[in-house]
A and B are shown apart, each in its own frame.
Chain A
Amino acid sequence: MFKILLKENLVPNLQVVKIEAPEIAKKALPGQFVIIRVDEYGERIPMTIAEADPEEGSITVIFMEVGTTTGKMASLKTGDYIENFTGPLGVPAEIEKVGTVLCIGGCYGIGGITPIARAMKEAGNKVISIIEGRSKRLLYWQDKLEGSCDELVTVTGDDSDSYQEWISEKIDRYIKGNEKPDLVIAVGCTFMMRNVAEATKDLGIKTIVHLSPIMVDGTGMCGCCRVEVGGTTKFACVDGPEFDAHEVEWDLLVARQVQYLAEEIESLQMFECTNWTKV
């Protein structure tokens, strides 16, 4: 059992949960993930580590409430326990000095990109962070990011002082109006990462994405998370989660991510019917 040290509604629909896990916190590096199982009936799902605090002995994750597992997590309170918490998993993000790095985060990935941006800055890079959301109200952690990068750019659908544009257009415009970055890293929903990949491909900028396909064990045992990268099959849990964005077979990734949609809806209905007092 793992204790929830803090659970908050971060912005509408996005929750932040800090879990007591001193051994994982000691070892976690930027870009790694944990596997969570809320209760004995629960699924095992991966979540990107947004913060690891070895002194406090805690790991923080941020997630969107979309299905049964995230619904269960959201219904817990500070001081409650979750059944299982395993990590740190996956290959850590490659941190090296390359020059100028554009770190892009959206949704849960704003949390996910934060430790990567910080590490890239500490490695001597010029770091520009771009965070995106449908609305200003969906952005968070600007303070943490501002302290760990050279420039913070926000992209939202309701930006009144700029005009509405997609993240890809914004990147395109940003890059054309500024110096060309040496590396782009994106963490967030598949849709956003794919848009970033398309925007940077023609510009010839090396781009890394953090993939989060469906997983079961998360340790390389089941092969559920297989993705095609550069024409070969990779297991995102042990070969990734970092991959070259321009080599990823995006259509396949998207198709595999929605393969349990009908089951997810069935499960969610069951969860909501039996837990209507909590949700």
Chain B
Amino acid sequence: MAKVNLNREQMPRQEPEVRAKNYREVALGYSPEQAKAEADRCIQCKKRNCVEGCPVNVDIPDFILALREGDMKESVRILKSKNALPGVCGRVCPQETQCESVCTLNRMGAPIAIGRLERYVADWELLNMTNEEKKPELPPSTGKKVAVVGTGPAGLTAAADLARFGHSVTMFEALHVAGGVLMYGIPEFRLPKEIVQKEVDFVKSLGVEFKLDSVVGRISTIDELLENGYDAVFLGTGAGLPMFMNVPGENLNGIYSANEYLTRVNLMKAYMFPEYDTPVKLGRRVAVIGGGNVAMDSARCALRLGSEKVYIIYRRSEEEMPARREEVENAMEEGIDFRLLTNPKQFIGNDKNQLVSVECYQMELGEPDDSGRRRPIVKEGSEFTLDVDVAVVALGTSPNPLIASTTKGLDTTNRGTVIADEETGKTVKDRVWAGGDIVTGAATVISAMGAGKRAAADMDKFLRS
């Protein structure tokens, strides 16, 4: 056996001082030589841990082998047969905790860069294959109709699989574009919107119909969909409602939920105001509250909008931060000021209701709590203030109550999430499945896709019975 190569190919990236001033993608993607070199490192294990580690079970060694052998079209085919959104996943999946974490080479500290290869193959397809070549073969129609509510990662995955099983699928989207959080949440510099729309186009090419500007719950209820010809419904409406801290001053001007801030910047393109009509407060000094990926995205958006100083305020230490390591490092390199073990006590405004500063406590870590992480405790008398004119609260979301409140016979938890079988996504309501953040609360793109995939398989079984 050849000696194992532990030199993981580095991803070329824009330099921090350059990228902090533009909205272009930070990670630039492998060159063909780099992709080949990284693919060559794969030892093609018999026991395919990586496939198990992938929530949608992509045949990882196979697509890497095809890439290595130069059969790019075959590589694309293998990848897309399991994953309708490889360009998205290659960019935003936390591979380090999934496929790459169980890669045999990870034991020697250099797992195959599966995510980067996935992205390479997806991008190759976009550049090199004609629409005709991309068009997958579809089985004959089963004559069954399915409604998929929400066009985020869970919905798109479920819809793509259901279409490939031969069912007729209609997707409903409340906003004016399809993609959900991939469009309104994740910024352009991490996930170009053109890539998302290309992958949406792929789902369309499977015959899926999209109904935009359609708020299910208002324009028609789930029951009405079921009465009006749909044989089954998948709910993938996400975790919509932003959470706030309920500290004094939170409704001052200049304080945003991360959802609003990112929606203005990404979906409504406020970074191109006034060419685009939607504004966002630029903020000379910005505080982002939270330690997840959404907090990192918000802070890095603020920097790119031209803010002089951007803080991340997080109540625990760096170790407990839920954000991807890579994103924390990117943010640090770009000059975001991390104020760890810090938590807002109140926001202070002027006579015009405009935010001028945030008063914070210093925190210390106590015993582990329910999440297994050490509980942050306020250090009495440790208050200090930071002058800021914009603050972004990135503390997570809870499900939008609209569907639950307008649907009879759907069970919800006290957090507002819909109760569904973990394996199949089946809810207690007849002919209704659910998956993604509406079931789990805020989680990752790929876990939502996994839920969409499992639900589609179970729905297919039901539709054929």
User: Which A residues are closer than 8 A to B by beta carbons?
Assistant: 23-24, 27, 37, 41-44, 68-69, 83-89, 216-217, 219-224, 226, 228, 233, 235, 238, 251-252, 255-256, 259-260, 263-264, 266-267, 270-271
Contact = CB atoms under 8 A, between A and B. Distances in A.
Nearest to B212: A84
Contacts of A217: 174-175, 184, 263
Given A43-B268, A222-B242, A222-B257, A83 B273 contact: no
Contacts of A41: 269, 275-277
B273 A267 contact: yes
Contact of B253 (A24, A235, A255): A255
In the A-B complex, the 8 residue pairs with the closest CB atoms? A255-B353, A263-B279, A222-B260, A223-B257, A259-B253, A84-B176, A86-B213, A43-B277
Contacts of A88: 218-219
Contacts of B268: 43-44, 216
B49 interface: no
Contacts of B353: 251-252, 255-256, 259
Contacts of A69: 277
A267 B176 contact: no
A219 B240 contact: yes
Contacts of A43: 268, 277-278
A241 B230 CA distance: 32
Nearest to A227: B251
Interface of B: 174-176, 184, 212-215, 218-220, 240-242, 244, 246, 250-251, 253-254, 256-257, 259-260, 263-264, 268-269, 273-279, 281, 352-354, 400-402
Given A84-B213, A216-B264, A233-B250, A27 B218 contact: yes
Contacts of B241: 220-221, 223, 235, 238
B274 A266 contact: yes
A228 B251 contact: yes
Nearest to A221: B240
Contacts of B244: 223, 233
A228 B251 CA distance: 8
A217 B215 CA distance: 11
B-side binding surface: helix, strand, loop or mixed? loop
B346 to A, nearest CB: 15
5 contacts: A23-B214, A43-B277, A44-B268, A87-B215, A259-B253
A259 B260 CA distance: 15
Nearest to A23: B219
A206 B258 CA distance: 36
* Most B Cβ at <10 Å: residue of A44, A216, A252, A270: A216
B215 A222 contact: no
Contact of B260 (A83, A216, A252, A266): A216
Contact of B400 (A84, A219, A266): A219
A260 B277 CA distance: 12
A238 B400 contact: yes
Nearest to A21: B213
Contacts of B278: 43-44, 216
B263 A221 contact: yes
Given A43-B268, A256-B251, A221 B400 contact: yes
Contacts of B240: 219-221
A165 to B, nearest CB: 30
Given A85-B213, A87-B215, A256-B253, A220 B400 contact: yes
Contacts of A224: 256-257, 260
A216 B263 contact: yes
A226 B402 contact: no
B277 A267 contact: yes
B253 A42 contact: no
Given A43-B277, A44-B268, A69-B277, A222 B251 contact: no
B274 A226 contact: no
B389 to A, nearest CB: 12
B218 A89 contact: yes
* Most B Cβ at <10 Å: residue of A220, A221, A267: A221
B313 to A, nearest CB: 19
Contacts of A238: 241, 400-402
A252 B215 contact: no
A221 B218 contact: no
Given A86-B215, A216-B268, 12 more contacts: A41-B269, A41-B277, A43-B278, A83-B176, A87-B215, A89-B215, A220-B401, A256-B253, A259-B281, A260-B279, A266-B274, A271-B277
